[in-house]
A and B are shown apart, each in its own frame.
Chain A
Amino acid sequence: MSSNNRVLPKGVTAGDFDKAMQEIRAIVGAEYVLVDEEPLAPYNKIMVPVADAQHAPSAAVMPDGVEQVRKIMKVANTYRVPVYPISTGKNIGYGSAAPVERGQIVLDLRRMNRIIEVDAELCTALVEPGVTYQQLYDYLQEHNLPLWFSCPAPSAIAGPVGNMVDRGVGYTPYGEHFMFSCGMEVVLADGEVLRTGMGAMENSNTWQVFKWGYGPTLDGIFTQSNYGIVTKMGMWLMPAPPDFRPFCIQYPNETDITKIVDALRPLRIAMVIPNAVVIAHTLWEAPCTPVKRSDYVTGQGAISDDAVLKIQADHGIGAWNVYAGLYGTKETNDANWKIIEAVAAATGGKIITEEASRGSQALQYRFDLMKGKPNLGEFGLYNWRGGGGSIWFAPVSQAKGSETLKQMKMAKEILGKYGFDYVGEFIVGWRDMHHVIDLLYDRSDDTQTKNAYACYDELLHTFAKEGYGMYRASTAFAEKVAATYGPVKRDVEKRLKQALDPNNIIAPGRCGISL
């Protein structure tokens, strides 16, 4: 353990680090503390285009409860060792389970996986960070509770707390996950435990039903930040609707995106379509179908438009593929279905119903996600380029057709310059869209890896010049993305950090926040 190239937190001596680890072992038990390279391997498997070493942890610690977390914070303060909390640790393409800065100790909360309460009348749940969506799904099934939650695509292995604190999205009417969270328990850097909203009151029974409490609402500052360690989260569940009607509408031309967005926006805002609509490009659908890239592309460089057209024709995939659902009773859905049919007809879209979709792998996983049924179908994306390289480029767009076409063209051009394909989709929040692009590259190829980094960098700065910011970013670009939001916001974030975590021990550098 005393090798010279041992990974240590920045500015911490080996002696202090060892003392800290010794004290932490006494708190959580020696078997739940990892410091050697081999056992730490799962914490350093990343897909983003930077060296593994840049995000290598010095240790991983697996507490089993809030009291242990509090005690660990005391030790971290004493020895000034930074900890990087993760919940389910599946932030794949955003940095996975690896810390934002080399040498941080991963505080792995996955063992804290209690589903503390499900209230079937109020349709709420209170969960710990280690709970996965699959576990929650199984729990609801086993208890015959007709309640749905919204989950992101890698739902079987990811979880509601980790996803919510990174402000992730899903595909049911509750798809904006932070909006549908209600109440958090947070361990602060000094070990103090804060319950947000109504949870601050002792014996309150409204923690999971009223978000705001009294005075400033603090929940937001614990998302995409490093001001505390979330140890419990309330979330709202949706009553399973008596009638659920998912559908896909395919459009033949790339430029159709303008009319799609302009036609769907009013339906989304008025909640005729209540869920987060997805508008997926051919090249998102193709790998999930699955289509093999090598059947259409030879040599280096991005796929040609002609090849994309050929994929559409060969596999019955649209240039754009809209996914949405109706959630209601048979009567309300019958009425709204007529609106959907009329809109599709007026815009030249072809509707694929659930019945007609049977046998299609790409449609099935989407339809499942729209009812919160966990799966991993979207991992098909990784078979497109191969080589295990992925970083999400995810700017926000207005839900206006002209804006989406502009963003799509900008992204496609820059990606093409570096030899990468436009594998993108728009997720319609309400008035916004998350324009999510999977920058897929072969991470075993050094040139592609360097190009992927440079490509993201150019995308980021070109988009920022046009006033487009990221909804979320990977650990590899935390600092650069934060910089695009300007100095005042960063200064306030720093002042908060100073007040809440003066020793800078919780995930310094996360989202660009550090002292």
Chain B
Amino acid sequence: MRANRLACLVIGAGAMLGAAGAGAGQWRDGAQVYEKVCAHCHEANVGPVLKGRQLPQVYIERVVRHGNRAMPSFRPSEIDDAALAEVAQLIGASAPLTKE
């Protein structure tokens, strides 16, 4: 059992980044960025569907950094270059979404 007073002290969290889940504040991989950020609009009937369109990686990276009309821009402090490259690659190579 967890101690009753659960004071989750995460001071010096740098040491445990990457180890845990999304609550740790560092992206595990591009798939997690997609799930936690992109999918909220692009798989929710809010923004256009991205998967299965063979969108070029450079195009995705540019739109993420610059934004585009209603699409907000995302800074490297939010999605670092490596995570962005991964998510862009993943989207570009993805199969179309299947509608149930």
Contact = CB atoms under 8 A, between A and B. Distances in A.
Interface of A: 34, 39, 41-43, 45, 60, 62, 88-90, 92, 96-97, 108, 110-111, 113-121, 130-131, 134-136, 138-145, 156-157, 290, 361, 374-377, 379-380, 382-383, 386-388, 443-444
Given A42-B74, A135-B23, 20 more contacts: A42-B66, A42-B75, A45-B67, A89-B75, A92-B72, A110-B75, A111-B77, A113-B25, A115-B10, A115-B23, A116-B9, A117-B9, A119-B5, A121-B6, A135-B22, A156-B37, A376-B41, A382-B69, A388-B68, A388-B70
Given A90-B72, A135-B23, A138-B21, A116 B77 contact: no
A157 B72 contact: yes
Secondary structure of the B contact surface, majority rule: loop
Interface string B3-14: 011111111010
B53 interface: no
A136 B41 CA distance: 20
Instruction: Pick from A34, A97, A374 the residue with the most CB of B within 10 Å.
Output: A97
B44 to A, nearest CB: 7
Given A45-B72, A114-B11, A387-B69, A143 B44 contact: no
B6 A376 contact: no
Contacts of A117: 7-10
Given A121-B4, A375-B40, A444 B69 contact: yes
A145 B6 contact: yes
A41 B73 contact: yes
Closest 3 CB pairs of A and B: A139-B23, A388-B69, A382-B70
Instruction: Pick from B71, B76, B77 the residue with the most CB of A within 10 Å.
Output: B77
B37 A383 contact: no
Contacts of B2: 144
Nearest to B12: A114
A120 B23 contact: no
A121 B13 CA distance: 22
A115 B8 contact: yes
28 contacts: A41-B66, A42-B66, A42-B67, A42-B76, A43-B73, A45-B66, A45-B67, A62-B77, A96-B73, A111-B77, A117-B7, A117-B10, A120-B6, A121-B4, A121-B6, A138-B21, A139-B22, A139-B24, A143-B23, A157-B37, A374-B40, A376-B46, A377-B44, A377-B46, A380-B45, A383-B46, A386-B70, A388-B70
A142 B20 contact: yes
Contacts of B68: 388
Nearest to B69: A388
Given A119-B5, A156-B40, A130 B47 contact: no
Instruction: Pick from B13, B67, B73, B74 the residue with the most CB of A within 10 Å.
Output: B73
B51 interface: no
A111 B72 CA distance: 18
Interface residues of B, number: 38
A130 B80 CA distance: 14
A144 B45 CA distance: 30
A290 B21 contact: no
A88 B40 CA distance: 17
Contacts of B37: 134, 156-157
Contact of B72 (A96, A119, A121): A96
Contacts of B46: 290, 376-377, 379-380, 383
Contacts of A42: 65-67, 73-76
Contacts of B13: 114-115
A119 B2 CA distance: 13
Instruction: Pick from A42, A88, A118, A380 the residue with the most CB of B within 10 Å.
Output: A42
Instruction: Pick from B8, B22, B24, B45 the residue with the most CB of A within 10 Å.
Output: B8
Nearest to B47: A379
Contact of B23 (A130, A136, A380): A136
A41 B65 contact: yes
Contacts of B70: 379, 382-383, 386, 388
A138 B22 contact: yes
A135 B46 CA distance: 21
Contact of B10 (A34, A116, A141): A116
B26 to A, nearest CB: 8
Given A134-B22, A135-B22, A375 B78 contact: no
A458 to B, nearest CB: 25
Contacts of A89: 75, 77-78
Instruction: Pick from A130, A145, A383 the residue with the most CB of B within 10 Å.
Output: A383
A139 B20 CA distance: 10
Contacts of A45: 66-67, 72-73
B65 A140 contact: no
Contact of A376 (B9, B44, B65, B74): B44
A96 B45 CA distance: 23
Contact of A121 (B5, B36, B73, B77): B5
Nearest to B4: A121
